[in-house]
Amino acid sequence: MMKAYKNDTEACEGLKDLSKNLKSEVSKIIVGQDEVINKIIISILCKGHSLLIGVPGLAKTLMITTIAKTLGLSFSRIQFTPDLMPGDILGTEILGEDRQFRYVKGPVFAHVILADEINRTPPKTQSAMLEAMQEREVSISGETHKLPDPFFVLATQNPIEQEGTYPLPEAQLDRFMFSIWLDYPTIEEEIEIVKRTTVEKIEDVSVITSIDELLYFQNLVRRVPVNENVLKYAVELTSKTRPKTSYATTTANNYIAWGAGPRSSQYLILGAKCNAVLNGKYSPDIEDIQAVAENVLQHRIVKNYKADAEGLSTRDIIKELI
């Protein structure tokens, strides 16, 4: 049963405790990757989606299945391949024994969707996710079907192999709140990973919350107040990424072909609100904007040839802008 909170201040403390307990449970299975897990938690609490980029074997799939299990959410994995069709994701209509068509739901109808190697399927199939990610619904044969609430898409992408892959459309990239980079574990972490995964018994996790409580906390994040100066900073930071505009910096004019859109400003504020609460604050400051800026902006900025020629990464550009 969901705990009753007297006010939003007490609820913020409850959300902070939930995050701490979630990380504790996930750490039974996942070694390290604390910052990645933290960003996924923020994304879920902000009703956002995340794109995970990392080489194979970094436990991307295990991480999200563990988080889904700990939150008591239904989970569905979709393996994106070149022959995957939109109907394989959304579902399709079939002719029943009564000679009437009925809709059979696809794997997208789950709380947590793992879109594994999302860039391995053609744009037509990738676009099938657009309505689901933005409107949280699916349209089939003129009928609209609501997706479960909460609904969260975690897509993975391999940065090494580019053969047989398709660039994600900018419109789809913009649907992701965060782009999260996974690094290799440290030597100590890898030793612990090997210890845990080469024994007979592997620990399991417990469910620590309910769907109703998670929905409550998602709405709580949106009620967190924001000072005008923080709001202005977020919008101006986004504006700085747009070359040849009045707010553009020298860095943007020299190295960026296309800047971030208004959705970036929205996600900067939402992410900062959640980051503030998880760190014991009741309103975000500029540091909270900066804490989520890289993950919000790096997949929304398109570098130009000069940046590539000088070996500048999108991360480098964002750090300069901040």
For 91-138, the pLDDT digits (tens) are: 887 776 777 777 778 888 889 989 888 888 887 788 778 888 888 888
The single residue listed with the structure tokens 């569905």 is 76
> Which of the four pLDDT bands, split at 50, 70 and 90, describes residue 160?
low
What local confidence, expressed as pLDDT, does residue 85 receive?
85
Residue 72, number of CB atoms within 10 A of its CB: 15
Q: How does strand 302-303 pair with strand 256-258?
A: antiparallel
In the chain, what is the greatest distance between 2 CA atoms, to the nearest angstrom? 67
Those residues whose C-beta lies under 8 Å from the C-beta of residue 237, and which sit 6 or more positions away, are 268, 289, 293, 297, 321, 322
Nearest to 77 by CA among 128, 153, 161: 153
Give the model's confidence band at 164: pLDDT under 50 very low, under 70 low, under 90 confident, else very high.
low
Structure tokens at 116: 């594994």
CATH superfamily of this structure's domain 225-321: Magnesium chelatase subunit I, C-Terminal domain (1.10.8.80)
Q: How many residues does the chain have?
A: 322
Give 246's contacts (C-beta < 8 A, 6+ positions apart).
none
| Contact in structure between 53 and 182 (CB atoms under 8 Å) | yes
Q: Which helix (H) or strand (E) holds 250?
A: helix 250-255
**Spatial CA neighbour of 292 closest among 305, 306, 278:** 278
- DSSP category for residue 289: H
Q: Which residue has the higher pLDDT, 200 or 153?
A: 153
pTM for the whole structure: 0.88
State the pLDDT at residue 232.
93
Helix (H), strand (E) counts: the chain: 15, 11
Instruction: Give the per-residue pLDDT at 62.
Output: 82
Find residue 113's DSSP bridge partners. 76, 153
Q: Amino acid letter at 129?
A: M
Q: Which of 60-74, 113-127, 135-149, 214-228 has the highest mean pLDDT?
A: 214-228
Highest mean pLDDT: which range of 86-100, 163-177, 221-235: 221-235
pLDDT at 1 over 70: no
CATH code of the domain occupying 8-211: 3.40.50.300
Give me the long-range contacts of 97-101 (CB less than 8 A, separation at least 24): 101/141
What does the domain layout of the chain look like in residue ranges?
Answer: 8-211, 225-321
